[in-house]
Chains A and B, each alone.
Chain A
Amino acid sequence: MQGIAQLAVEEALRAGADYADARIQRLACEELTMQDGSLVRADAPEDFGLGVRVLKDGAWGFAAAPGTHKDLAEVAPGLARRAVKTGRDLGRLRTKPVQLAPLEGQVGEWSTPVEEDPFAVSLEEKLGLMKQADESMQGRDEIVSRVVNLSLRREEQWQASSEGSQLHQVLVRSGGGLAATASAHGVVERRSYPASFSGNFMAGGFEVVRAMDLPANGGRMRDEAADLCSAPLCPEGPHTLILGGSQLCLQIHESVGHPTELDRVLGHEVDLAGASFATRNHLGNLEYGSSLVNLQADSTLPGGLDTRGWDDDCVPSGSWPIVKEGVFKGYQTNREVAGAVDESTSRGCSRAESWYDPPIVRITNLSLQPGKMSFDEMVANTEDGAIFADSVRTWSIDQRRVNFQFTCEVAREVQGGRLGRLLRRPTYQGNTTSFWGSCDAICSAEHFHLWGVANCGKGNPMQVAEMTHGAAPARFRGVQFIQ
């Protein structure tokens, strides 16, 4: 495969490319969904193909096609020539040529550490586990839907570039979850474990799924979903909010991850995903949050969905602060945009969904660093009437990533220093920097967990990427709730 990628690069250079890279990717997945005890999705998708990217006359050209092992070598030269032609057709419209941050050729291999190959675990065992999880959600009349998911993915990629890079990477991720939906009294409520929208996902093997212990948690989800149907609506007005880690994952993703993608700041995403309030004049001086807020980007994070050896620009992985002690310190960049903030090297955030897509700047693993308080201590030291909320139900944020409104699956009222009655449909809204500025406590490292985002959409045409956000529960003051 490496030879075919190199062949594509060489053909592109022969056709006149100023720069070229090629990615061959083979993807294998296993997707299982059980609904109400029946296996309603049993799919084993595989995909395989080649994408060739060039710079010609200051513009990108990209061409891609699927192939078998045999015919990719036949396809590669033609793709390379097509990519060069596209660059040539479009170069005259560039107001300034694309310039890449310098990089020495990279050579190496990288694989996700895996304890238990997820594809080697028998189907019978997987389905048995799902059946147990499904049965754990049975027993309440209010439940109208029980869903259990398992999702396993292995991505193998060969990269070559005209700068001498030769890379081979194997990324494995596993995950799953369960969800119980209840309908009663004209109200529909869902509870999900360990996270909503198909569960949680981490880099690793089947040990990730086993550690979730789905069957032990279905009964609690069933009861909470059913009980929420008769719970009062979460009260309106300003309240202290304690956010659980799964909801903080979304908060980090939408209000820190996306606004600090430098391509958004430069206007490359304005036509669909939008722009960013975190413009370059704010770098180094914007008070993004309170002094407790430290957000670290890290594409070397063990278990992270964007943990890899190199990105799709062949840039090595790394770790750097985005927000340090509340101050905006860094962007997520690729080789094309790094120079716009006078950085001599890319942060390595260039990724494509597959061989079919050109790479774009993506959020990498980005985590809220833990504080010092235990969760019990945090609740005990919070006033009556405060709200604890967790698990994403729905989300919306404006195109500059300032005004957000998020709804969680579940909330509980703080009473007497403990979590009390269930509250339905907690919906809070705010302004990104004011919200993070109101953070006055973060739980300690023992409460810190990794939450995988397996469905991040960006680009036009849209591409899906995966990344992880680590978080421990955190407290925010004066948050506005609406009904």
Chain B
Amino acid sequence: MTLLSSDHALEVCQALVKASPADETEVTLQSEEDRFVRFSPEGPSQNGDRERHSLSIRVRLQSDAGWKEARATVGTFGESETRAALGRAMALAGAAAPDPKRLPLEGAVEIPGSAPHRPTQDHSFREKAEWIERAMASCAEADLAPAGLARTTVYSRTLVNSAGRVAEGALSRAHFSLTASPTDGTGDGGVAEQTHCDVGCIDADQVIARAVDRGRRGRNPRLLPAQEYTVVLEPLAVSSLMLFLGYAGFGAQELHERRSPLVGRIGERMFPDGLQLHDDAGSADHPGWRFDGEGTPRTRVPLIQDGAFGQPVTDARWAKLLDLPNTGHSAPQPSSSGPSPENLVMGAGMESVEQLISGVDNGLLISQFHYTNLIEPRDMILTGMTRGGTFHIQGGQVGESVCNLRFTQSLVEALTRVSGIGNRPEIVGALFDGEIVCPALRIDGFRFTSATEL
């Protein structure tokens, strides 16, 4: 099983651009190789050894009234299938109404080179089984039930357009997660995970030790009243909150439609100076795609800096509409989705998690949030449940496990009350999608609105 070579992908894309009768054509070919093993109390429960391709053809027809455009996607790159997709795209574009706001495609760019990480690509099922075996053994010793995922994935992407643009790149991901739950149902379980572009950087034993420790200490939680607490959020919990700013907060389209927290707040000093957030596809620890859905290089964008929200991320269309620079954050076009950041990186602070905890008199240490969702976009009012290990902090010490609590809290308001930032950023994801590099945070006055009995 191999990804398409760069030369092969380029050849497929260029042939289609050449064959297209459209006035402008853009072809994107993404390939993916994925190996995963999911496990549960009975051992490996699901797995996959799989590959797929997605070839996407965007065609544009020029008229006096503007561009008419459409896209067709196909999961193979054989000649007959790709020519059929080209025909579908042409038919759709032909029927579309012209849009005077669409811009011509842009030409050549320089994109930093990248290749799949070979050891990650070659990581075998037997090697994944070794991680899982150790997780199952550690859980069995502690009378905990294991559940988790071992996964390695590599991707390649090539974009070619008729204006002379060629963009190529690759990504690699390795992931290991474990939830260790009391077998007698007396607790919610402990959670830990690691994600990295280099499988060699995954420390499975550290993941196992952390989840098992949390699972052990999480038995027989105590019900605490739902009220405001100072919270120390570990990176996995921070991710659930901050990724919503990426989904719905920092794009030019949301700002223009007055449904973003940036409305009326850009440049206003609201947050502690230490709170720094960038979108950075070039992050050394967690590189993302270096070009966007139109092949434009992604730039590093300060989103929260010097205590204030910065400008939104843009694409070619929204940059022109709002008279801002094109930051290279386009979705594949045409799309109803505006530009959005995909590579959020929070700056590290000075304190260890232990130091953050030591500053709390009566609060909560929270490992993870479950099913966080957006209630209101302007103040980013979010709700979600704690999960995977929630503990009472009293007098600066982590104490007993507590039952899960539901928060309903404005993220904008919460970020104004950050009173401590951890010194060890981690690469973490959230339930819905996406990954972020972020440290732990201490936030005062975090509002909880209900609780469960476990």
**Is B46 an interface residue, CB under 8 A from the partner?**
yes
**Is A274 an interface residue, CB under 8 A from the partner?**
yes
Measured in the bound complex, the distance between the Cα atoms of B384 and A35 in whole Å is 31
B432 proximity list for chain A (CB < 8 A) = 457
| Shortest CB distance B77–A (Å) | 9
A480 proximity list for chain B (CB < 8 A) = 450
Contact pattern, A 35-59, Cβ under 8 Å of B = 1, otherwise 0: 1011111111111110100000001
B177 proximity list for chain A (CB < 8 A) = 271
Measured in the bound complex, the distance between the Cα atoms of B188 and A123 in whole Å is 52
B406 proximity list for chain A (CB < 8 A) = 396, 398, 403, 405, 429
| Shortest CB distance A382–B (Å) | 25
Q: Are B48 and A358 in contact (CB under 8 A)?
A: yes
Measured in the bound complex, the distance between the Cα atoms of B431 and A275 in whole Å is 14
Q: Are B76 and A94 in contact (CB under 8 A)?
A: no
| Shortest CB distance B452–A (Å) | 5
**Is B178 an interface residue, CB under 8 A from the partner?**
yes
A405 proximity list for chain B (CB < 8 A) = 383, 406, 408, 449-450
B414 proximity list for chain A (CB < 8 A) = none
Q: Are A270 and B147 in contact (CB under 8 A)?
A: yes
Listed stretches B30-38, B297-305, B354-362; interface member: B30-38
Measured in the bound complex, the distance between the Cα atoms of B377 and A425 in whole Å is 12
Q: Are A123 and B452 in contact (CB under 8 A)?
A: no
Listed stretches B83-91, B194-202, B345-353; interface member: B83-91
Interface centre among B70, B74, B258, B451 (most CB of A within 10 A): B258
B373 proximity list for chain A (CB < 8 A) = 394-396
Q: Are A89 and B374 in contact (CB under 8 A)?
A: no
A457 proximity list for chain B (CB < 8 A) = 432
A403 proximity list for chain B (CB < 8 A) = 385, 404, 406, 450-452
| Shortest CB distance A192–B (Å) | 14
Q: Are A267 and B181 in contact (CB under 8 A)?
A: yes
**Is A256 an interface residue, CB under 8 A from the partner?**
no
Say whether, besides A63-B50, A94-B43, A270-B179, A48 and B75 are in contact (CB < 8 Å).
Answer: yes
Residue of B nearest to A37 (CB): B97
Q: Are A68 and B78 in contact (CB under 8 A)?
A: yes
Which chain A residues (341-386) contact chain B, with CB distance < 8 Å? 356-358, 360
**Is B145 an interface residue, CB under 8 A from the partner?**
yes
Listed stretches A107-115, A180-188, A238-246, A317-325; interface member: A180-188
Q: Are B36 and A49 in contact (CB under 8 A)?
A: no
Say whether, besides A41-B334, A48-B76, A188 and B259 are in contact (CB < 8 Å).
Answer: yes
**Is B101 an interface residue, CB under 8 A from the partner?**
yes
Measured in the bound complex, the distance between the Cα atoms of B404 and A35 in whole Å is 41
Measured in the bound complex, the distance between the Cα atoms of B42 and A349 in whole Å is 21
Q: Are B99 and A272 in contact (CB under 8 A)?
A: no
B375 proximity list for chain A (CB < 8 A) = 393-394, 407, 425, 427
Measured in the bound complex, the distance between the Cα atoms of B379 and A235 in whole Å is 19
| Shortest CB distance B321–A (Å) | 12
Contact pattern, B 369-384, Cβ under 8 Å of A = 1, otherwise 0: 0111111111000011
B89 proximity list for chain A (CB < 8 A) = 44
Which chain B residues (68-116) contact chain A, with CB distance < 8 Å? 69-76, 78, 80-81, 84-85, 88-89, 91-97, 99, 101
Which chain A residues (383-417) contact chain B, with CB distance < 8 Å? 393-400, 402-403, 405, 407
A64 proximity list for chain B (CB < 8 A) = 48-52
A86 proximity list for chain B (CB < 8 A) = 47, 49, 125
Contact pattern, B 133-148, Cβ under 8 Å of A = 1, otherwise 0: 1001000000001011
| Shortest CB distance A235–B (Å) | 15
Measured in the bound complex, the distance between the Cα atoms of B257 and A275 in whole Å is 39
Q: Are A65 and B50 in contact (CB under 8 A)?
A: yes
**Is A103 an interface residue, CB under 8 A from the partner?**
no
**Is A420 an interface residue, CB under 8 A from the partner?**
no
**Is B5 an interface residue, CB under 8 A from the partner?**
no
Q: Are A89 and B125 in contact (CB under 8 A)?
A: yes
B377 proximity list for chain A (CB < 8 A) = 188
Q: Are B336 and A41 in contact (CB under 8 A)?
A: yes
| Shortest CB distance A63–B (Å) | 4
**Is B420 an interface residue, CB under 8 A from the partner?**
no
Q: Are B129 and A90 in contact (CB under 8 A)?
A: yes
**Is B278 an interface residue, CB under 8 A from the partner?**
no
**Is A33 an interface residue, CB under 8 A from the partner?**
yes
Q: Are A144 and B258 in contact (CB under 8 A)?
A: yes
Question: Which of A47, A90, A267 is close to B147, meaning CB atoms less than 8 Å apart?
Answer: A267
Measured in the bound complex, the distance between the Cα atoms of B334 and A358 in whole Å is 31
Q: Are A144 and B49 in contact (CB under 8 A)?
A: no
A187 proximity list for chain B (CB < 8 A) = 378
Contact pattern, A 95-135, Cβ under 8 Å of B = 1, otherwise 0: 11000000000000000000000000011100100010000
Say whether, besides A144-B259, A358-B48, A400 and B454 are in contact (CB < 8 Å).
Answer: yes
Q: Are B257 and A145 in contact (CB under 8 A)?
A: yes
A274 proximity list for chain B (CB < 8 A) = 370, 387
A-B contact pairs, 12 of them (CB 8 A): A37-B97, A60-B47, A61-B47, A65-B50, A66-B52, A89-B125, A188-B378, A267-B181, A270-B147, A271-B38, A360-B46, A399-B188
List of 10 A-B pairs having minimum Cβ-Cβ separation, nearest first: A42-B70, A123-B95, A47-B75, A270-B147, A183-B258, A45-B73, A44-B88, A94-B43, A64-B50, A398-B385
Using a CB–CB distance below 8 Å, which chain B residues touch chain A?
A: 1, 34, 36-53, 69-76, 78, 80-81, 84-85, 88-89, 91-97, 99, 101, 124-126, 129, 132-133, 136, 145, 147-149, 151, 177-179, 181, 185, 188-189, 257-259, 334-336, 370-378, 383-385, 387, 404, 406, 408, 431-432, 449-454
Beyond known contacts A35-B336, A64-B52, A398-B385: 11 more, CB 8 A cutoff: A39-B96, A41-B335, A41-B336, A47-B75, A90-B47, A95-B43, A271-B177, A275-B181, A397-B371, A397-B385, A399-B387
